[in-house]
Amino acid sequence: MARLAAFDMDGTLLMPDHHLGEKTLSTLARLRERDITLTFATGRHALECSIFSGRYRWMRI
């Protein structure tokens, strides 16, 4: 069975400086440990999201 968690970026995952907070990173790491694929759900253009996928390589766009 495939398992996926999708998250909004702006105002949900990302802090005002456009980075993930330590608590958020810790929570997302626990999800990854449970073999859950993590992805962004956003209205942003895919090219704009590539910045984040480069910074957080485990995140799928």
Looking up tokens 């480069």 gives 54
Catalytic residues: 8
Neighbours of 40 (CB within 10 A): 20
pLDDT tens digits, 7-43: 888 878 888 888 889 999 899 999 989 999 888 788 8
Q: Which of 22, 21, 18, 27 is nearest to 49 (CA)?
A: 18
Q: Which fold has domain 4-60?
A: Rossmann fold (3.40.50)
List phi, psi (to 5°) of 46: -60, -35
Number of H helices, E strands in the chain: 2, 2
pLDDT at residue 27, rounded to an integer? 92
Report if pTM > 0.85. no
